[in-house]
Structure 1
Amino acid sequence: MNYTQEMNLVSKSGYCMPFEEKNGEVKMTLGYGKQIHPVTQEEFFHHGVDFATHRYILTAVADGVVSGIGSSPTHGLFQMIRYGKYEVAYTHLTHALATFGTRVKAGSMVAISGDLLHIEVKHDGTEINPMEFLAMLYSNLLTLRQQGHPSMPDLAFLEMDIPTDYDDDREEIEELMLRFYPEYLLEVGNGSYHVPEHTEQSLRNIFSLSAVKNYFYEMMPSLANPLGIGERSMPIAARVQNLLIGDFLNYLALRHQLFLSTLSENDKKKRSTKP
């Protein structure tokens, strides 16, 4: 099925590409149609297109509604959004931020990709080449700009790989969070574990400074990003991440005598006695 002008998508909130491509760094790794499998070298029909992404924020491309979320052996975690007669599937996700039934607008953050993003598109139930759909979106964006409208929305995107002081221990920390993070939140909530005063004060200072410098509401707020933070706030996000991860590790040391395997014995003693 080929795209025709009658299939043009109409959206009051404007249009947005699924992700922002910076300096040409995102490459299409597999096209639509007959392809050679990169592992088996066998010919097969590819029903979508693949992009090399790593934890990119994915956005709604127009006015729509989340029509499906699920998981499959082939596509992993996937999310489907209906835009009029179009239905677009994002697959191989790490997170689906917009839940089933959520109404979205162009630029709303809806998901986070994994190491690759597989996109499939149907129009009125018939599969089409996603590149034709993306070309239509891009054309609509150019038309709006030529008419004097800004990109709708003209957003700064966040990459999810926010650098922290704990990047070398990321896998170990994630394993500890899977096991202990709910308990940590529960104890913080009921007051049985108190966040150190210096941590609370640091967070207050960071958010106060961010408000003064207008880091909040830099972009259109959404359910997934209620403060509307954009790329300028990346250093702030990194500082907050450092504080929150550090406090979680502090909790593990005090409550469970658990430490990162990379800590020296001297550092372990400091953490186990730190108020």
Structure 2
Amino acid sequence: MEKISVVIPVYNGEAYLRQCVESVLNQTYQNLEVIIINDGSKDSTALICEQLRQEDSRIRVLHKPVNQGIGAGRNSSLELATGDYLVFVDSDDWIDPNHVMDLYDLMKRMDSDVAIANFTQYFEDTGKYNIHITADDYYEEVYTPQEWFKFQYGHGNNLSLCFTVPWGKMYKRSLFETILYYTDGFGEDDRTTWKIYLMADKIAYMHRSSYLYRVNSESMTQTTKVSTVFHVGPIAERLEVLSLLGFDLTEEIKAYKWRAQINRDDKLRNGDVKAYKDLEFRMKLLEKYKR
């Protein structure tokens, strides 16, 4: 069986790291290389990493002396990984026992370069799950990059988030040859995952939630401003690249306008008139030229 590298970046993850790693070690697909990137944690994360490494020879650990962010952590893992395929798991999440096997099987059957699953939200504060996909809802589909960029919009079941996040997927490691994760602030996934799709020929999706995504009051997406989570920068960069490639930009322009509205209002709230006028200029041009 081919080797699959499972990457777990972690910062101050003592509360959840063991559950996360054990869910990976207990996969039905066993030929795994588990890479834990300890990103300068100040709690007992380092101790837990070393305990886990002693318990299973498949685990490799990189301790970073200072916190550099999750994007830099993923980049470090790209240098260490020796598997034919990559899977990312966030340290406060976990995966069901067939997650890796199902992604691998889907990728092989569909001859794809990326395999994608959906996810279930677990709300830490209430102990409840948001189960939005049942066994009867299952389907599989294969998309070209052009089709996948369109498919992400206008659908329920968290399809847009599935498009953006790095986890819940299996990638051919070769796709990352010219790609590094963004490291200059929030949004490393929003600014990177779409680039990997462009390097693929086929993208396979299975409508099954085999990844458990923990939501708590301290989650980055819960504590970061909406205008930061939905910054216009990633869409603007995407529009530039996709226009060069001749993609249909209709849905991307709609997404840009939606984000620009959020960011424009936020700039005014913070008194940044220059940034406001810059966004307003672009919005007026889109209206003038009916894009």
Does the pair score TM above 0.5? Answer: no
Q: Which has the higher contact order (CA 8 A, sep 6+)?
A: 2
Which structure has the greater CA radius of gyration?
Answer: 1
TM-score when scaled to structure 1?
Answer: 0.25
Which has the larger share of helix?
Answer: 2
